Every structure is written in C-alpha cells, then in structure tokens.
Amino acid sequence: MDKIEIGGLVFDPAWLPKLGEGLVVTLEITGLCIAIGIVLGLVLAILRVYGRGPLYWLSSLYVQFFRGTPLLVQLLMIYYGLPSWGIVLSPFLSGVIALGLNTAAYQAEYFRGAIQAIPRGQMLAARSLGMKRAQAIRYIILPQALRLVIPPWSNELILMLKYSSIVYMVTVMDLMGAAKTIAARTFRYFEVFILVALIYLAIVFLLSWLLRRLEERVRVPGLGIERGSAH
C-alpha cells in the first residue's frame, strides 16, 4: 500500500499490523488489571467500611501504600525487585499485577465512597428483616453502591487504559511499545505518536459510551443523579 502524506507528515499503512498487535496487548493488560482491581477493590472497600481491627488496618495500609507511591516505582519493584526473592515474572504478568494492585487501591476508594453514600437506614432495614450482615451487603448495599459508582469508576477505567502504556518500560510490546519500535526504525516519531494518540482517543470514546449505556441500563428511579436535573 502507498504511504499517505498529510501536511508534510508521512503515514505508512505498513505500521498498522504491528500497532494492531500492540493494541491487543494494551486491551488485554487493561482488561486484566481492571478485573483484578474490581475484585480486590471491592474486598478492600468492604473491609474499610465494615471491617474492624487488623482487617481494617491492613486494608487501609494497602490503600495508602498504593495510592501514596508512584505506579512506575511499583512496576519496577515487581519486575526488577521480586527476582531477588526468587520470584521471576514475565514482563506482561509484571505489568498486569502492578497495574492491578494499583488500580485496586483507587477502585477501593471509589467503592468505599459509594457504599458510604447509601443511607444507614438501608442496612438497618435489611438487618431488621433478619438478614445477616453479609446478606445485607450483598443484596441491599452493593447493588445500590455499584450503580452509584459507575460514573467515577469510568474515570478509573479510562485512566488505566492510558496508564497501561507504562508497561513498555519493562519491554512489553503494547501499543506504546509497538509505537516506540516503529518510530525508532523509521524516525517518523511525530506521525507514529499522532496515530497512537488517535487510537487511544478512539478507545476512550468507545469505553465512555459503553459505560454510559450501562449506567442508563441499570438506572433505578431515586438512585444516583437524575440526568438532566443539573446543568
């Protein structure tokens, strides 16, 4: 295929397969780390709200540590640090774990905020029916909190998609890694990164749209912000 020239910039369609492969890796890493983050984040949030003693303190310590230190430091500790304890992880797995542990701390804070936004009377009414605390959390509190958390949580998903680009620092060939390789070979830095920026932008738009649809789908009257009431 011919190269495309726009305003003195030259784009080569031959880059696309490699960028496509990188995009798949980026989406895999984002998907996996978000999944780890949801599960771990929910557990942390529940411990932070309902836990007592060591469970509360440990979950709080976790959140403080991962929010209080740079993501890159966490990634490098896992990739370069853990081998000195005999734990050697692949670059891909290091990236997934570092990003997953990090986003879990942030997601935990979003979940905690949403759980605490549910009026106390909901728990009281659930317990007065004879529900165990775990049942009340599962059937009454979480279904409401998870609906409330979608808008702030969307931000975290989008951030993770973009932050996942730091895994190229440990040699993962994600979208960013692929771009760097192509750029270094062709010296078309500006063109390659314009293309990469557009790809990220497109994915962000798509994710935002999907989450807005999800939010509308699970909306219940009287819960959360009614669209169109503010502004």
Partner 1 sequence: MGNGYTSRKGEVVLRVEDLHKRYGREEVLKGVSFEVRRGETKVIIGPSGTGKSTLLRCITRLTEPDRGRIWLGDIEVTGRGVDLNRVRASIGFVFQDFNLFTHLTALDNVRIGLLKVKKLPKEKATEIALKQLEHVGLAHKADAYPAELSGGQQQRVAIARALAMEPKLILFDEPTSALDPELIGEVLDVMVALAKEGMTMVVVSHEMGFAGTVADEIIFMEGGVIVEQGPPDQLFRQPKHPRTAEFLHKITALYGETG
Residues near partner 1 (CB under 8 A): 119, 121-122, 124-132, 135, 139-140, 143-144, 147, 220-223
Minimum CB distance to partner 1, residue 103 (Å): 26
CA distance 171 to 90: 10
Amino acid in the structure at residue 72: L
Burial class (CB in 10 A: 0-12, 13-18, 19+), 88: exposed
Nearer to partner 1 among residue 90 and residue 135 (C-beta): 135
CA distance 148 to 38: 15
Nearer to partner 1 among residue 75 and residue 137 (C-beta): 137
Nearer to partner 1 among residue 10 and residue 125 (C-beta): 125
Contacts of 81 (CB under 8 A, 6+ apart): none
Nearer to partner 1 among residue 9 and residue 124 (C-beta): 124
Nearer to partner 1 among residue 7 and residue 222 (C-beta): 222
Minimum CB distance to partner 1, residue 146 (Å): 10
Minimum CB distance to partner 1, residue 39 (Å): 22
* Positive/negative CA dihedral, 181, 186, 190, 193: negative
Phi, psi values for residue 222, rounded to 5°: 85, 0
Minimum CB distance to partner 1, residue 121 (Å): 4
CA distance 204 to 92: 22
Minimum CB distance to partner 1, residue 210 (Å): 22
Nearer to partner 1 among residue 144 and residue 164 (C-beta): 144
CA distance 182 to 37: 32
Ramachandran bin of 228, using left for φ above 0, alpha for ψ from -120 to 50, beta for the remaining angles: left
Minimum CB distance to partner 1, residue 126 (Å): 7
